[in-house]
């Protein structure tokens, strides 16, 4: 990221890594030596990058700048890697185009201004029916999160603490080398200008240009997830052992809720009971503001159920995290965060037992893709005659639950709250500041 105080940052998005890349240029793209137009094909030789059969060498790879409003289309970009909705799409981008050699493959890079990047990210995450308050809150949050991530670029990302009977891992956004962000959900889903038809999102971004959330002098690492389930979660339930003051648990509704969700009785009372929270909605008009079509394949999220046999869990544990502890006898939550999300789960097997965490590791271990959240209580039903065991999970929320709750924020926007009020609700002790 090129970031000088007072001016708009330019960020590098890593789009693809392949042995051969085809790009269709709409308009002229040029470097010092040559102007390219129409289709170009980039491959690799021992000497370096080969464009349409001609060898090119620049220390930083090949960098092409657009003339006027030129854009480019890339074929077969993969989205949702590892998720149930993984798919390939042809996508169109604006800004500069770069090719770098990485692991004997070609990395395609798009250099784009931060505001253009945000326009793409926010319009592909939300529909045109979203309220202006929701779109503006999202714009400020995404801008803050992104700049905070790129300034921080330091933290250890993936943690693996394997004791003999305990696997505690967490996965934060890993820093990329050679570029700032990737185009998939690992960073934020970025589809170029392909889906920028959302005039309301564009207006919200323009209206909040350069505006970020700050806690004291620090730009906030403003996290968000789909649905908190009624209470937002603590940072350290999901990631490292720190708790930024602006990411404290909040009751996602009017008033306060001081019940205890940390112990089993409290979690059970919370998860099994419907409650009056902003994100407890089945209003499809509001859900459409936050969920894309493919996300709507998951209908129940505020409270949900999942069933699995002991045999299935045994198979999943082996496949997903490579552990074998015999037949699965029990799932015992050991530690929960503020929203009931489990961050240490003991799994008792006939040969051994193991404790796993944090929240994402638990969600991965107990599902072919991911459980909606780790806020669940377990009902164990044993069939003595058949000798089989069924585990019924009753769960709450969708995602890690830290920071802004997207569905809750959409409801707040519909109820007439301003974007400042939405941000202040989820991010305590913060202020807004225009930094360019």
Which residues form the interface with Zn ion (CB under 5 A)? 182, 186-187, 228, 252, 279, 405, 408
Rounded least distance, CB 408 to Zn ion, Å = 3
SS3 content of the chain, % helix, strand, coil (to 5): 25, 35, 40
Rounded least distance, CB 229 to Zn ion, Å = 6
Sheet of strand 166-171: strand arrangement: 158-163, 166-171, 353-357, 342-349, 328-336
C-beta neighbour count of 104 within 10 angstroms? 7
Q: Which two tokens stand for residue 69?
A: 């409003």
How long is the chain? 436
Rounded least distance, CB 271 to Zn ion, Å = 14
Give residues with Cβ within 8 angstroms of 14, minimum separation 6.
Answer: 107, 108, 109, 176, 178, 179, 180, 181, 182, 183
C-alpha closest to that of 427 among 419, 435, 44: 419
Question: Among residues 70 and 405, whose Cβ is nearest to Zn ion?
Answer: 405
Question: Among residues 389 and 406, whose Cβ is nearest to Zn ion?
Answer: 406
Q: Which two tokens stand for residue 157?
A: 């990302």
C-beta neighbour count of 75 within 10 angstroms? 14
Give residues with Cβ within 8 angstroms of 424, minimum separation 6.
Answer: 430
On whether the CB atoms of residues 28 and 37 are closer than 8 A, the answer is yes
Question: Among residues 228 and 342, whose Cβ is nearest to Zn ion?
Answer: 228
SS3 398: strand
Rounded least distance, CB 268 to Zn ion, Å = 19
φ/ψ bin of 354: left (φ > 0), alpha (ψ from -120 to 50), beta (otherwise): beta
How open is the CA angle 287-291-292, to the nearest 5 degrees? Answer: 135
SS3 321: helix
Question: Among residues 371 and 375, whose Cβ is nearest to Zn ion?
Answer: 375
SS3 136: helix
Question: Among residues 186 and 320, whose Cβ is nearest to Zn ion?
Answer: 186
Question: Among residues 116 and 184, whose Cβ is nearest to Zn ion?
Answer: 184
Rounded least distance, CB 202 to Zn ion, Å = 24
Question: Among residues 144 and 232, whose Cβ is nearest to Zn ion?
Answer: 232
Rounded least distance, CB 344 to Zn ion, Å = 23
Rounded least distance, CB 350 to Zn ion, Å = 39
Rounded least distance, CB 250 to Zn ion, Å = 9
SS3 68: coil
Question: Among residues 11 and 182, whose Cβ is nearest to Zn ion?
Answer: 182
On whether the CB atoms of residues 165 and 323 are closer than 8 A, the answer is no
Max intra-chain CA distance, the chain? 79
Rounded least distance, CB 118 to Zn ion, Å = 16
Distances (CA, A) of 117 to 135, 196, 197, 263, 285: 15, 11, 14, 42, 27
C-beta neighbour count of 212 within 10 angstroms? 23
Question: Among residues 116 and 252, whose Cβ is nearest to Zn ion?
Answer: 252
Question: Among residues 42 and 412, whose Cβ is nearest to Zn ion?
Answer: 412
Q: Please provide the distance, in angstroms rounded to a whole number, between the alpha carbons at the two ends of the chain.
A: 15
Question: Among residues 61 and 249, whose Cβ is nearest to Zn ion?
Answer: 249
Rounded least distance, CB 362 to Zn ion, Å = 20
Question: Among residues 144 and 198, whose Cβ is nearest to Zn ion?
Answer: 144
Rounded least distance, CB 302 to Zn ion, Å = 8
On whether the CB atoms of residues 239 and 258 are closer than 8 A, the answer is no
Rounded least distance, CB 188 to Zn ion, Å = 8
Residue-by-residue DSSP string for 169-207: EEE-PPPPSSSSEESSTTS----TTTT---HHHHHHHHH
């Amino acid at each position: 990221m090129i970031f000088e105080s007072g001016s708009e940052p330019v960020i590098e998005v890593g789009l693809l890594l392949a042995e051969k890349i085809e790009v269709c240029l709409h308009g002229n793209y040029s470097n010092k030596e040559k102007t390219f137009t129409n289709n170009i094909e980039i491959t690799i030789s021992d000497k370096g990058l080969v464009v349409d059969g001609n060898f090119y060498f620049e220390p930083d790879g090949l960098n092409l700048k657009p003339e006027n409003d030129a854009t480019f289309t890339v074929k077969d970009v993969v989205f949702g890697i590892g998720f149930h909705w993984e798919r390939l799409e042809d996508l169109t981008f604006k800004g500069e185009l770069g090719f770098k050699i990485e692991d004997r493959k070609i990395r395609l890079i798009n250099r784009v201004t931060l505001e253009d990047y945000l326009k793409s990210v926010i319009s592909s995450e939300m529909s045109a029916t979203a309220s202006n308050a929701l779109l503006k809150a999202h714009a400020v949050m995404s801008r803050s999160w992104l700049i905070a991530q790129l300034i921080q670029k330091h933290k250890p990302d993936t943690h693996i603490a394997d004791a003999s009977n305990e696997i505690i891992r967490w996965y934060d956004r890993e820093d990329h080398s050679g570029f700032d962000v990737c185009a998939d959900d690992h960073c934020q889903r970025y589809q170029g200008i392909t889906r920028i038809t959302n005039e309301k999102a564009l207006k919200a971004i323009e209206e909040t240009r350069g505006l970020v959330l700050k806690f004291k002098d620090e730009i906030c690492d403003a996290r968000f997830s789909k649905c908190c389930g009624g209470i937002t979660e603590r940072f350290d339930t999901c990631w490292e052992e720190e708790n930024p003051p602006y990411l404290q648990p909040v009751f996602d509704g009017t008033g306060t809720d001081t019940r205890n969700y940390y112990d089993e009785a409290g979690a059970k009372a919370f998860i099994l009971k419907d409650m009056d929270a902003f994100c407890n909605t089945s209003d499809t008009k509001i859900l459409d503001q936050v969920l894309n079509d493919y996300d709507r394949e998951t209908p129940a999220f505020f409270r949900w159920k999942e069933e699995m046999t002991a045999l299935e869990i045994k198979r999943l544990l082996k496949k997903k995290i490579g552990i074998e502890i015999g037949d699965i006898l029990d799932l015992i939550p050991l530690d929960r965060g503020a929203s009931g999300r489990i961050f240490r789960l003991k799994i008792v097997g006939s040969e051994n037992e193991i404790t796993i965490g944090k929240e994402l590791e638990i969600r991965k271990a107990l599902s072919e893709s991911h459980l909606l959240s780790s806020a669940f209580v377990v009902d164990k039903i044993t069939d003595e005659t058949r000798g089989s065991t069924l585990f019924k999970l009753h769960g709450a929320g969708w995602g890690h639950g830290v920071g802004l709750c997207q569905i809750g924020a959409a409801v707040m926007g519909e109820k007439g709250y301003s974007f400042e009020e939405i941000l202040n609700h989820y991010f305590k002790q913060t202020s807004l500041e225009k930094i360019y």
